């Protein structure tokens, strides 16, 4: 028996936000519930179910794909998404177990307990846009969202928009867990845009569950204008491992995470580069 | 063996259909409405005295029926270990005590109308602890001046209380000093193994209530109903005759339920309140407040001739038994007695110190000390082969025990008393080696990619185990005939999902000439079934099975006599073939007709026969495990891409169930080798007491494990059976570490090989 | 609060509290096949189908199932017969202690409803959220392969 006393399921977004404002901090939005149900603090009395607001679904908006905030992760395993935003598809396919993917929602993984999530890191590399509603309706970058850590105030995520893949643009994702079904000890994603046959922009996102993700700029790391080679990838991976402060906890030591960061960034970059059309000599 | 009809068939278990239908036969499915739910207040400290405990606020809380502390319950020192009486484990445990000895130790118990109300009342118990210094490492526990964990005056059977030595073992065969002096090559190394937990899917759960004669009925998820009965009666100070223990379906055990974990308190609460009470462990409690495998430090020293002949073998063990000494003598005894005989050696020494620590309690866990011993032994053999430039299998073959050999250590190392001689009457090791080796032939080189470099390797390990505890394991069986030619088979044996009900019924059906459907099994109820030590020591098919066969033979003889009457012939002239009793002249009567006539004919009677069997031998099964692994040089992750275990089981009464035992125990062995480890902080708290952070292999973490059966027809059992329940876990870890060495040249001497540890070692080796 | 949900084809309108998990509700309604083994969503013993998709009942509060359809193992057999998955599990010796079996079966049902001809690896992935401590998974995978074949060849009986 959990400690919640009241469960509400509004039918309209405005109603959900009003309810949240009325009750205050004793209320939480619940979508999949996979982190709210087991981990909500004892102070939370009221659950406001937001899965009845029509915020699920995937739609095509020309250059971008829009994913509703309460879309289940299993819903991201969609052939359309695999074609248009493969890095999100790949990240979604390694989150949790099949049952958890049927329950957890995209918004939930960006706002829940185990931050930064695998999908969050993939979206961070992609520079996704997050549509929020709560105090007010607004759009923020994923960088800002993950930097602030938790959703503030009465915000909930209504939509996430990601650029579709294009020629010469690619993204990659890599995660390391202690077993095949595990939260990440370290995860990493990269987005590369080649320009005139050489490296253009590189965004590298690195996450360690339980701390703020890092977003690194490949150009600032000296990659801009250079040939995308295995050696450059190695150089960037090593630099990344030096730039991200590894955390230590019961799951892994700082030293180990540092090694993993280098490897996961390397893997993500290789995948991104290949998707951007780079062919590596063997 | 003559054409078998029921034995040697992979028939579905007698309870398989009820299982797949999800029918409610576990303890938690049987809790009556209105039962009390009791929960335990557990110590937050690793070592402390309870100076004062005030439960008045908890007693007054809504829905609370009873709160008990050490002031309210009998103080009877006992062991929770489910073993024969007198148990070879110290009596160092109390139902509730005024001292706590590990984080999670019992402090008090609350029984209330619901689990929620009981949990809420725990917070209302005020305890004044005097925190004492704690020891969290067995080396520290043995040091001069270490805090004494069992300083109470009334414990019994502790080897050296003031030095925290729960048990001590010293066994010599020949003279190892002489042996080492004669050796051309001496190898010496230390290995260490970790805290592993059984993780049964069903947490411990016990229900107790008073029946219509005010006897206490305990319905509990247990391996050892008869030991539970005896122990709870004693500690609750009531006669054994006033207790009935029933084991319904058990959701996995592997040794963790060879123990009194909850039943003693359940009985106490039922007696005091007169009401049914159920207790269960949360998953977190299952980790730190039930039982674990014994962590050990193992120093092994082997003396070899240049040609690889083993001339002296010495194993020194420091075992950590945790805060209480359940199985503290017998598990470490098996570490030596199950492993060292595998290789012939004229000189053997085995010594073990078993230390108390202020950590969770170790107990029985599949393999029972052997996995620890084999990690050291089979690592040594692999290392020495490498050092001598010999083929690792050739080194084994040079020294392997053979059919006809006597186990040199058996008489010296029993389970807490003198052992019994053991001669190897059947040995299929060569077939095991061949089959397992062929099943993991080795694949080509792995695919390496940038930032994902992989090395691949193959390794093996051998082992032998035992079958039951000679001079100790005893089982009874009763068979009652019914008028339709079906039989009720009553056995005390405990089916844990292992299928013993089915296997025992198969043996009875074979002897009685009927089909499996004609044998109705009822098991593990101390009021109705004969005594059985319970499901441990890989004994059931052999020991309980022999009792079943004897009882069945007696019933068959009774039916033969009935047939003789009906056919007008002396019983000596009556054969039993294909279900018919036949005279030499060819007159015959079907067994079922004889059964019917036994009820309603002229000399009507109830045919019911019992038999019991005490085993005096311990025929070893043999096993070879081959493993192929991929080692990710960039993360340290080890992926077992192929693993096979071939085992000489004597005979598989039910090959499908036997395969299931092999594959399941190998899976646990992979967890032991690669991922399973209880972690503690510096205050003795188990910090990963959840399935999120204690990593048990899931379906995507394992390849298709190959379980292969070899049969050798052991002469000491009517159907040639030995055992299969534990052995295949024993040699998995060294098979894997030997494969990792083959892949990388890096030797691991500590388990588990977590990715972090592996990467650190790989980097150190320059990879 | 009162909710309305369909369980194994039958409509129920129980009174539930906001804190009651779906697992507790189902067991309270007599569906004892749904097991409590960890309570943190890591073992899969409480797997049921929610509108045909495998979910973890211990991680849901009962009101989340309002208006939805739940299937448990008890609902797998039409007319009392056995679903081909149950039949295959039984015949091939997949269940040992049986505690993980109901959850395992439901994950397999969910898989076969979307992928009627899965590979062994796909089966392993589908059951990767169901911990079995007894079997090492081999016979479970064998049984799902056999059941998938039986269903493709028009295996009779059972609600898929």
CA distance B653 to chain C (A): 14
pLDDT value at residue C158: 45
A96 touches chain B (CB under 8 A): no
DSSP code per residue over A137-161 = -EEEEHHHHHHH-S--TT-EEEEEE
Size of interface B-C (CB pairs under 8 A): 169
Q: In which residue are the tokens 């009567």 written?
A: B589
Residue B541 carries which DSSP code? I
Q: How far apart are CA C55 and CA C45, in angstroms?
A: 10
Asked if C47 and C57 touch (Cβ cutoff 8 Å), the reply is yes
Candidates C16, C56, C127, partner chain A, best to mutate (most A CBs within 10 A): C56
CA distance B607 to chain C (A): 33
Asked if A34 and A111 touch (Cβ cutoff 8 Å), the reply is no
Q: Do C19 and A100 touch (CB under 8 A)?
A: no
CA distance A235 to chain C (A): 35
Question: Which residues are within 8 A (CB) of A32 and not within 5 positions of it... i.e. 6 or more apart?
Answer: A72, A103, A104, A105, A108
Q: Do A97 and C129 touch (CB under 8 A)?
A: yes
> Average pLDDT for residues C134-143, to the nearest whole number?
98
A26 is written with which tokens?
């004793």
B36-42 vs B277-280, strand pairing mode? parallel
Asked if B302 and B382 touch (Cβ cutoff 8 Å), the reply is no
B681 is written with which tokens?
């902080």
CA distance to B95, B244, B274, per residue, from B237 (Å): 12, 15, 16
Q: Do B693 and A250 touch (CB under 8 A)?
A: yes
Asked if B691 and A181 touch (Cβ cutoff 8 Å), the reply is no
Q: Do B698 and A253 touch (CB under 8 A)?
A: no
Going by pLDDT thresholds of 50, 70 and 90, the confidence category of residue B572 is confident
Q: Do B700 and A178 touch (CB under 8 A)?
A: no
Cα B555-B560-B563 angle, rounded to 5 deg: 130
**Is residue B363 scored above 90 in pLDDT?**
yes
CA distance to B428, B647, B652, B663, B710, per residue, from B433 (Å): 9, 9, 18, 17, 10
A233 touches chain B (CB under 8 A): yes
pLDDT digit string, tens, across residues C85-127: 999 999 999 999 999 999 999 999 999 999 999 999 999 999 9
B165-173 vs B64-68, strand pairing mode? unpaired
DSSP code per residue over B286-351 = HHHSS-BPPPEEEEEEEEE-TT--EEEEEEEEEEEEETS-TTTTHHHHHHHHTTGGGB--S-EEEE
CA distance C108 to chain B (A): 13
Which residue blocks in B420-544 are alpha helix, DSSP H?
429-439, 500-512
> H/E element holding B688?
none
> Average pLDDT for residues A18-33, to the nearest whole number?
95
A39 touches chain B (CB under 8 A): no
Domains of chain C (ranges, CATH numbers): 5-75 (3.10.20.30), 84-152 (1.10.150.120)
CA distance to B174, B674, B753, per residue, from A178 (Å): 46, 10, 11
CA distance C43 to chain B (A): 7
**Is residue B186 scored above 60 in pLDDT?**
yes
> Average pLDDT for residues A16-38, to the nearest whole number?
94
For residue C40, the chain A residues in CB contact (below 8 A) are: 38
Residue among A1, A162, A174, A3 nearest A67 (CA) = A162
Q: How far apart are CA B384 and CA B301, in angstroms?
A: 11
For residue C130, the chain B residues in CB contact (below 8 A) are: 698-699
CA distance to A59, B5, B561, per residue, from B510 (Å): 66, 6, 19
CA distance C67 to chain B (A): 25
**Is residue A194 scored above 80 in pLDDT?**
yes
Candidates A3, A4, A7, A78, partner chain C, best to mutate (most C CBs within 10 A): A7
pLDDT value at residue C157: 46
Nearest to B756 among A179, A234, A256 (CB): A256
Q: How far apart are CA B108 and CA B103, in angstroms?
A: 14
B323 is written with which tokens?
């805060």
Omega before residue B719 within 30° of 0, cis: no
Omega before residue B86 within 30° of 0, cis: yes
C113 touches chain A (CB under 8 A): no
Question: Which residues are within 8 A (CB) of A220 and not within 5 positions of it... i.e. 6 or more apart?
Answer: none
Give the three-class secondary structure for B72. Answer: coil
pLDDT value at residue B416: 76
Omega before residue A235 within 30° of 0, cis: no
Chains near B with 3+ CB pairs less than 8 A apart are A, C
Q: Do B691 and C38 touch (CB under 8 A)?
A: yes
Helix/strand number for chain C, H first, E second: 5, 5
B64-68 vs B106-112, strand pairing mode? antiparallel
User: What region, left, alpha or beta, does residue B568 occupy, with left being phi > 0 and alpha being psi -120 to 50 degrees?
Assistant: left
> Average pLDDT for residues B353-367, to the nearest whole number?
98
CA distance B535 to chain C (A): 14
Asked if A40 and A75 touch (Cβ cutoff 8 Å), the reply is no
Candidates C2, C45, C54, partner chain A, best to mutate (most A CBs within 10 A): C54
Going by pLDDT thresholds of 50, 70 and 90, the confidence category of residue C160 is very low
Asked if B221 and B27 touch (Cβ cutoff 8 Å), the reply is yes
Q: Do B690 and C40 touch (CB under 8 A)?
A: yes
Q: Do A7 and C128 touch (CB under 8 A)?
A: no
Task: Compute and round to an integer the Cα radius of gyration of chain B.
Answer: 27
Query: What's the CA dihedral at B247, B248, B251, B252 to 10 degrees?
Result: 30
CA distance A227 to chain C (A): 38
Which residue blocks in B418-567 are alpha helix, DSSP H?
429-439, 500-512, 545-567
Size of interface A-B (CB pairs under 8 A): 57
Q: Percent of chain A having pLDDT more than 90?
A: 89
Nearest to C90 among B17, B199, B499 (CB): B17
ipTM computed for the complex? 0.97
Cα B304-B307-B309 angle, rounded to 5 deg: 45
CA distance B22 to chain C (A): 4
Cα B594-B597-B603 angle, rounded to 5 deg: 115
C-beta neighbour count of B437 within 10 angstroms: 17
Candidates C138, C139, C159, partner chain B, best to mutate (most B CBs within 10 A): C138
Q: Do A34 and C1 touch (CB under 8 A)?
A: no
Q: Do A250 and B451 touch (CB under 8 A)?
A: no
Q: Do C90 and B700 touch (CB under 8 A)?
A: no
Residue among C67, C68, C43, C69 nearest C56 (CA) = C43
C-beta neighbour count of B175 within 10 angstroms: 14
Q: How far apart are CA B58 and CA C13, in angstroms?
A: 36
pLDDT value at residue C28: 97
CA distance C156 to chain A (A): 27
Question: Which residues are within 8 A (CB) of A168 and not within 5 positions of it... i.e. 6 or more apart?
Answer: A193, A194, A195, A200, A276, A277
Q: How far apart are CA C43 and CA B200, in angstroms?
A: 11
**Is residue B726 scored above 50 in pLDDT?**
yes
CA distance B4 to chain C (A): 20
Q: How far apart are CA A198 and CA B670, in angstroms?
A: 46
Residues forming beta bridges with residue B160, ordered by sequence position: B165
Terminal Cα-to-Cα distance of chain B (whole angstroms): 55
- Find the residue in C nearest to B705 (Cα): C138
- Find the residue in A nearest to B753 (Cα): A178
**Is residue B709 scored above 90 in pLDDT?**
yes
Going by pLDDT thresholds of 50, 70 and 90, the confidence category of residue B373 is very high
For residue B663, the chain C residues in CB contact (below 8 A) are: 135-139
> Average pLDDT for residues B581-607, to the nearest whole number?
93
Going by pLDDT thresholds of 50, 70 and 90, the confidence category of residue A282 is low
C68 is written with which tokens?
């939805």
Among the ranges given (B319-328, B472-481, B574-583, C26-35), the one the predictor scored with the smallest mean pLDDT:
B574-583
Candidates B18, B199, B201, partner chain C, best to mutate (most C CBs within 10 A): B201
Please state the length of chain C.
160
C-beta neighbour count of C1 within 10 angstroms: 13
> Average pLDDT for residues B364-370, to the nearest whole number?
98
Q: Do C97 and B200 touch (CB under 8 A)?
A: yes
C-alpha B751: how far from its chain's center?
20
C11 touches chain A (CB under 8 A): no
Q: How far apart are CA B463 and CA B621, in angstroms?
A: 9
Size of interface A-C (CB pairs under 8 A): 84
For residue B499, the chain C residues in CB contact (below 8 A) are: 96
Asked if B200 and B255 touch (Cβ cutoff 8 Å), the reply is no
Q: Do C50 and A180 touch (CB under 8 A)?
A: no
Going by pLDDT thresholds of 50, 70 and 90, the confidence category of residue B1 is low
pLDDT value at residue B15: 97
One-letter-per-residue 3-state SS of B640-653: EEEEEEEEECCCCC
Asked if A56 and A36 touch (Cβ cutoff 8 Å), the reply is no
Nearest to A250 among B115, B679, B763 (CB): B679
Residue among A90, A124, A121 nearest A209 (CA) = A121
Chains near C with 3+ CB pairs less than 8 A apart are A, B
pLDDT digit string, tens, across residues A77-119: 989 899 999 999 999 999 999 999 999 999 999 987 778 899 9
pLDDT value at residue C159: 45
> Average pLDDT for residues B666-683, to the nearest whole number?
98
Q: Do C134 and B28 touch (CB under 8 A)?
A: no
Q: Do B451 and A259 touch (CB under 8 A)?
A: no
A52 is written with which tokens?
């009845």
Chains near A with 3+ CB pairs less than 8 A apart are B, C
Asked if B74 and B320 touch (Cβ cutoff 8 Å), the reply is no
Residue among A71, A23, A16, A26 nearest A48 (CA) = A16
- Find the residue in A nearest to B763 (Cα): A259
Asked if A26 and A65 touch (Cβ cutoff 8 Å), the reply is no
Q: Percent of chain B having pLDDT more than 70?
A: 100
B99-100 vs B580-582, strand pairing mode? unpaired
Terminal Cα-to-Cα distance of chain A (whole angstroms): 57
């Amino acid at each position: 028996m959990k400690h919640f006393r009241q469960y509400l399921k509004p039918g309209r977004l405005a109603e959900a936000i009003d309810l949240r404002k009325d009750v205050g901090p004793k209320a939480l939005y619940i979508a999949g519930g996979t982190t709210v149900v087991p981990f909500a603090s004892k102070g939370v009395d009221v659950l406001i179910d937001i899965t009845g607001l029509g915020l699920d679904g995937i739609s095509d908006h020309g250059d971008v794909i829009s994913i509703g905030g309460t879309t289940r992760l299993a819903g991201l395993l969609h052939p359309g998404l695999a074609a248009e935003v493969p890095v999100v598809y790949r990240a979604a396919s390694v989150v949790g177990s099949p049952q958890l993917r049927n329950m957890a929602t995209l918004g939930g993984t960006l706002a829940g307990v185990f931050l930064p999530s695998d999908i969050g890191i993939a979206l961070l590399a992609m520079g996704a846009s997050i549509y929020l509603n709560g105090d007010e309706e607004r759009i923020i970058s994923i960088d800002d969202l993950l930097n602030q850590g938790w959703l503030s105030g009465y915000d909930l995520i209504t939509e996430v928009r990601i650029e579709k893949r294009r020629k010469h643009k690619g993204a990659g994702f890599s995660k390391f867990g202690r077993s095949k079904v595990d939260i990440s000890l370290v995860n990493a994603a990269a987005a590369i845009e080649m320009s005139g046959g050489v490296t253009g922009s590189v965004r590298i996102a690195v996450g360690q569950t339980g701390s703020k993700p890092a977003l690194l700029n490949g150009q600032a790391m000296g990659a801009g204008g250079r040939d995308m080679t295995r050696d450059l990838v190695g150089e960037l991976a090593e630099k990344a491992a030096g730039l991200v402060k590894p955390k230590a906890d019961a799951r892994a030591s700082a030293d180990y995470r540092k090694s993993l960061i280098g490897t996961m960034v390397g893997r993500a970059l290789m995948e991104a580069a290949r998707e951007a059309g780079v062919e590596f000599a063997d | 063996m003559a054409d078998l009809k029921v034995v040697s068939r992979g028939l579905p278990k007698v309870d398989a259909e009820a299982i797949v239908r999800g029918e409610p036969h576990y303890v938690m499915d049987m809790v009556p409405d209105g039962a009390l739910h009791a929960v335990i207040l557990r110590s937050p400290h690793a070592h402390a005295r309870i100076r004062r405990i005030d439960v008045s606020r908890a007693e007054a809380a809504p829905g609370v029926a009873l709160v008990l502390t050490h002031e309210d319950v009998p103080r009877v020192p006992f062991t929770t270990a489910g073993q024969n009486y007198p148990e070879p484990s110290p009596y160092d445990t109390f139902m509730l005590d005024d001292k706590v000895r590990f984080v999670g130790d019992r402090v008090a118990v609350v029984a209330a109308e619901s689990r929620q109300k009981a949990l809420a009342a725990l917070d209302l118990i005020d305890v004044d602890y005097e925190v004492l210094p704690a020891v969290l490492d067995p080396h520290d526990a043995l040091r001069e001046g270490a805090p004494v964990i069992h300083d109470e005056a009334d414990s019994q059977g502790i080897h050296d209380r003031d030095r925290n030595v729960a048990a001590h073992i010293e066994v010599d065969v020949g003279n190892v000093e002489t042996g080492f002096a004669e050796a051309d090559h001496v190898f010496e190394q230390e290995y260490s193994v970790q805290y592993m937990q059984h993780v049964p899917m069903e947490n411990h759960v016990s229900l107790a209530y008073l029946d219509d004669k005010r006897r206490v009925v305990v319905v509990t998820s247990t391996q050892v109903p008869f030991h539970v009965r005896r122990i709870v009666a004693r500690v609750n100070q009531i006669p054994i005759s006033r207790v009935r223990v029933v084991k319904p379906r058990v959701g996995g055990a592997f040794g963790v339920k060879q123990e009194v974990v909850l039943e003693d308190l359940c009985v106490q609460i039922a007696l005091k309140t007169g009401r049914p009470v159920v207790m269960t462990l949360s998953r977190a409690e299952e980790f730190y407040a039930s039982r674990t495998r014994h962590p050990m430090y193992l120093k092994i020293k082997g003396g070899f001739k240049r040609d690889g002949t083993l001339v002296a073998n010495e194993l020194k063990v420091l075992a950590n038994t945790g805060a209480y000494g359940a199985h503290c003598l017998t598990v470490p005894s098996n570490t030596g007695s199950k492993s060292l005989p595998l290789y012939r050696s004229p000189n053997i020494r085995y010594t073990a110190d078993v230390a108390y620590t202020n950590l969770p309690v170790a107990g029985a866990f599949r393999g029972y000390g052997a996995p620890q011993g084999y990690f050291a032994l089979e690592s040594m053999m692999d290392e020495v082969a490498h050092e001598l430039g010999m083929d690792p299998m050739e080194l084994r073959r040079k020294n392997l025990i053979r059919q006809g050999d006597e186990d040199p250590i058996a008489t010296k190392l029993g389970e807490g008393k003198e052992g019994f001689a053991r001669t190897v009457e059947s040995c299929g090791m060569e077939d095991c080696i061949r089959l397992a080796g062929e099943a993991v032939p080795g694949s080509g080189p792995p695919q390496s990619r940038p930032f994902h470099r992989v090395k691949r390797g193959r390794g093996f390990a051998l082992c032998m185990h035992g079958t039951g505890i000679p001079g100790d394991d005893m089982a009874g069986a009763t068979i009652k005939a019914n008028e339709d030619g079906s039989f009720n088979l009553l056995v005390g044996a405990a089916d844990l999902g292992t299928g013993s009900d089915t296997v025992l019924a198969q043996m009875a059906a074979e002897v009685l000439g009927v089909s499996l459907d004609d044998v109705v099994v009822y098991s593990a109820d101390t009021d109705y079934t004969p005594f059985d030590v319970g499901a441990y020591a890989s004994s059931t098919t052999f020991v309980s099975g022999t009792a079943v066969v004897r009882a069945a033979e007696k019933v068959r003889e009774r039916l033969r006599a009935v047939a003789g009457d009906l056919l007008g012939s002396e019983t000596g002239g009556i054969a039993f073939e294909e279900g018919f009793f036949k005279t030499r002249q060819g007159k015959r009567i079907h067994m079922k007709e004889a059964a019917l006539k036994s009820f309603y004919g002229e000399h009507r009677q109830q045919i019911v026969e019992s038999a019991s069997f005490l085993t005096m031998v311990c025929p070893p099964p043999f096993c070879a495990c081959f493993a192929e692994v991929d080692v990710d040089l960039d993360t340290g992750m080890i992926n077992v891409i192929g693993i096979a275990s071939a085992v000489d089981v004597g005979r598989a009464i039910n090959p499908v169930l036997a395969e299931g035992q092999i594959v399941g125990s190998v899976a646990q062995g992979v967890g032991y080798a690669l991922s399973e480890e209880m972690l503690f902080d510096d205050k003795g708290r188990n910090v990963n007491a959840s399935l999120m952070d204690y990593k048990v292999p899931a379906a995507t973490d394992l390849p298709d494990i190959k379980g292969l059966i070899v049969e050798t027809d052991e002469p000491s059992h009517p159907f040639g059976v030995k055992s299969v329940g534990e052995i295949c876990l024993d040699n998995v870890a060294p098979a894997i570490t030997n494969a990792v060495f083959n892949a990388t040249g890096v030797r691991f001497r500590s388990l588990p090989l977590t990715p972090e540890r592996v990467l650190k070692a790989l980097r150190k080796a320059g990879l | 609060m009162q909710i309305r949900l369909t369980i194994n084809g039958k409509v129920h309108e129980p009174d539930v509290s906001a804190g009651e998990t779906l697992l507790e509700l189902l067991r309270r309604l007599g569906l004892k096949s749904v097991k409590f083994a960890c309570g943190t969503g890591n073992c899969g013993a409480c797997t049921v189908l929610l509108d045909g998709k495998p979910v973890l009942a211990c991680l849901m509060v009962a009101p989340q199932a309002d208006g939805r359809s739940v299937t448990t193992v008890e609902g797998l057999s039409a007319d009392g017969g056995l679903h081909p998955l149950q039949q295959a599990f039984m015949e091939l010796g997949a269940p040992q202690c049986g505690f993980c079996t109901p959850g395992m079966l439901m994950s397999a049902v969910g898989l076969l409803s979307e992928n009627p001809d899965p590979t062994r690896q796909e089966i392993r992935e589908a059951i990767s959220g169901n911990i079995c401590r007894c079997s090492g998974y081999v016979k479970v995978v064998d049984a799902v392969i056999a059941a998938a074949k039986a269903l493709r060849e028009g295996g009779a009986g059972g609600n898929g």
